Amino acid sequence: MKVKVRILDVYSGRYSVFINEKEAMKAKLHPDDLVKLEAGKKTVYGSVVISSLVKEGEIGISRDVLQLHSFSEGEVVTVIPSGTPESVRYIKKKMNGGKLRKVEIETIIKDIVDRKLRDIEISSFVTSLEINGLDMDEIAALTIAMAETGDMLDIDRKPIMDVHSIGGVPGNKTNILVVPIVAAAGLTIPKTSSRAITSAAGTADVVEVFADVSFSLDEIKRIVEKIGACMVWGGALNLAPADDITIKSERALSIDPTGLMLASIMSKKYAMGSQYVLIDIPTGKGVKVESVDQARALARDFIELGKRLGQYVEVAITYGGQPIGHTVGPALEAREALQALMAGTGPGSLIEKATGLAGVLLEMGGVAPAGMGKKMAREILESGKAYQKMREIIEEQGGNPDIKPEDIPVGDKTYTFTAPTSGYITAIDNKAITGIARAAGAPEDKGAGIELYVKVGEKVKEGDPLFTIHAESEARLDQATVFARRTEPIRIEGMVLQRIGNI
């Protein structure tokens, strides 16, 4: 059927096309049916929403579609019902535990990017990967398909360094220090991050508190060729575009299937032209990788995948047994990262990890002698050079370089939990901390999160503050406090943990 486009001021987070009920009945279209819109050389897929927002003879197009495709009001388009895409068969094959061929993986990724697959099918694909996994041939094919369905960056400065965390540990604002340290040493580091997947704040969510993170590839090229670094959101670019779409399903389910995680990270690095990549694998209770043996196995996969892509990859297995630093949630983490860059010092876990990772990159990039990278990274941080580089990044990304940590607003609805008894902090539950921060509204509510006053091993007295929840609304604060009461985010014990006798 031929209809006229009506642009609707609707944002649904998916590719929706709106059709009047009578028109839908005539065309035998039903809610959520997949249709193809054709206009000249343009082809776009979308899911049907039956709505009185449009009249007979019209098709409503939501803002989501207009972000990537241009349609004008009144433009005539042909609407063609589209059957189930071939890729659904391949998703079922993975559900049944089969091994996917390269061409099958390419078809799935192309259909995700073309929006032929709807949320429900994409979630099924993600779930099938969580349950049945992928082998290295499948992971390599997935990585290349994810990168090649988008644009590739070609930066005129070499070598290109990169760092990426597999995430999972609360408060992981580390790379916001690593990137300016490495760039201040003269290396080039075009850092792309995703938004939160399982945590309460991805690096892109945190950086967005003080600068823009959505740029075109041309803008990124300009920024990186000028100042040697950027810290941007991968999802804003047409860079590995399937990544941000699958991440939406992962975030909803709070899962990060290992094969997809490898492809998600390495496709972004491949598309950015990164040559030397450092992968951070936080390891500990309540994060994605709980044991050092598992971390080593994953490290081998990253290194092998890097070889297949022509990249030199090193892996740092880092301590992830409790949150990094003292803050969790976008605005609180932005404050802490900025404070550390300005002062050249900060919480031990944050500074140790940031200078440790930056040190490895300085050695990989050949600007620090073997074994001297960490010392050099610390000197760059303490000298204020990393902060100066951060100011350049903020300015080039449209933020205010003079911003101070106290200028960053945090949620003003607060509740502080205190120690019910005196003793030592014997555990901080990563999953509970993330759950509380998410219940408080993070990462979408930038000001939501947690301020931690204690770390494992510290001594507390009854009544000492343990942590404060910040939220932007009373309702969210209530949800988070209820969640916190149901879990045991912080364990306090005496020095005698157990008494055993009479066995």
Ligand X SMILES: O=P(O)(O)OC[C@H]1O[C@H](OP(=O)(O)O)[C@H](O)[C@@H]1O
Ligand Y SMILES: O=c1cc[nH]c(=O)[nH]1
Active-site annotation, residues:
256
- As a whole number of angstroms, the distance between CA 368 and CA 374 comes to 9
Exactly one of 85, 202, 346, 405 binds ligand X (CB under 6 A); which one? 202
Exactly one of 144, 166, 179, 182 binds ligand Y (CB under 6 A); which one? 166
**Which residue number, 164 or 378, has a Cβ lying nearer to ligand X?**
164
Q: Give, as ranges, the residues between 241 and 260 that touch ligand X (CB under 6 A).
A: 256
* Type of residue found at 63: R
Q: Should residue 111 be labelled a site residue for ligand X when binding is judged by CB under 6 A?
A: no
Which residues are known binding-site members?
Answer: 168, 194-199, 203, 264, 288
**Which residue number, 147 or 260, has a Cβ lying nearer to ligand Y?**
260
DSSP per position, 414-451? EEEEE-SS-EEEEEE-HHHHHHHHHHTTTTTSTT-EEE
261 binds, among ligand X, ligand Y, none (CB under 5 to 8 A by kind): ligand Y
Q: Give, as ranges, the residues between 40 and 69 that touch ligand X (CB under 6 A).
A: none
475, two tokens: 């309702």
- As a whole number of angstroms, the distance between CA 346 and CA 338 comes to 10
Q: What strands, in cross-sheet order, belong to the sheet with 413-418?
A: 327-328, 449-452, 465-471, 413-418
Exactly one of 164, 221, 326, 378 binds ligand X (CB under 6 A); which one? 164
- As a whole number of angstroms, the distance between CA 400 and CA 398 comes to 7
Burial pattern 482-500, b for ≥16 Cβ within 10 A else e, equals ebbeeeebbebeeeeeeee
Per the CB < 8 A criterion, the answer to whether 179 and 396 are in contact is no
Q: Which residue in 96, 58, 97 sits closest to 79, CA to CA?
A: 58
Exactly one of 167, 320, 356, 399 binds ligand Y (CB under 6 A); which one? 167
Exactly one of 47, 124, 175, 318 binds ligand X (CB under 6 A); which one? 175
Q: Shortest distance, CB of residue 247 to ligand Y, whole angstroms?
A: 6
DSSP state letter for 383: T
- As a whole number of angstroms, the distance between CA 28 and CA 24 comes to 6
Q: Shortest distance, CB of residue 192 to ligand X, whole angstroms?
A: 7
Exactly one of 203, 275, 327, 349 binds ligand X (CB under 6 A); which one? 203
**Which residue number, 197 or 324, has a Cβ lying nearer to ligand Y?**
197
- As a whole number of angstroms, the distance between CA 344 and CA 156 comes to 31
- As a whole number of angstroms, the distance between CA 454 and CA 460 comes to 8
- Pattern 172-201, binding to ligand Y, x per CB under 6 A? ----------------------x--x----
199 binds, among ligand Y, ligand X, none (CB under 5 to 8 A by kind): ligand X
Q: Should residue 198 be labelled a site residue for ligand X when binding is judged by CB under 6 A?
A: yes
Binding range to ligand X, per CB under 6 A, among 137-145, 194-202, 326-334, 424-432: 194-202
264 binds, among ligand X, ligand Y, none (CB under 5 to 8 A by kind): ligand Y
Could you identify the residue written with the tokens 């575009």?
A: 241
Total residues in contact with ligand X, by rule CB under 6 A: 15
Q: Shortest distance, CB of residue 143 to ligand Y, whole angstroms?
A: 11
123, two tokens: 């979630």
Secondary structure of residue 473 in the 3-state scheme: coil
Which residues are known binding-site members for AMP?
Answer: 168, 194-199, 203, 264, 288
**Which residue number, 139 or 166, has a Cβ lying nearer to ligand X?**
166
Residue 329: Cβ within 10 Å count: 37
**Which residue number, 312 or 424, has a Cβ lying nearer to ligand X?**
312
Q: Shortest distance, CB of residue 193 to ligand X, whole angstroms?
A: 3
Q: Shortest distance, CB of residue 202 to ligand Y, whole angstroms?
A: 8
Per the CB < 8 A criterion, the answer to whether 231 and 398 are in contact is no
**Which residue number, 337 or 469, has a Cβ lying nearer to ligand Y?**
337
Q: Should residue 197 be labelled a site residue for ligand X when binding is judged by CB under 6 A?
A: yes
Exactly one of 167, 180, 325, 365 binds ligand X (CB under 6 A); which one? 167
Q: Should residue 204 be labelled a site residue for ligand Y when binding is judged by CB under 6 A?
A: no
Q: What is the CA radius of gyration of the chain?
A: 24
Per the CB < 8 A criterion, the answer to whether 81 and 27 are in contact is yes
- Pattern 255-274, binding to ligand Y, x per CB under 6 A? -x---xx--xx---------
Q: In the chain, how long is the greatest CA-to-CA distance?
A: 86
CA 162 vs. chain centroid, Å, equals 15
- Angle (nearest 5°) at CA 219 between 218 and 224: 100
**Which residue number, 60 or 323, has a Cβ lying nearer to ligand X?**
323
Contact residues for ligand X, defined by CB under 6 A: 164-165, 167-168, 175, 193-194, 196-199, 202-204, 256
Contact residues for ligand Y, defined by CB under 6 A: 166-167, 194, 197, 256, 260-261, 264-265
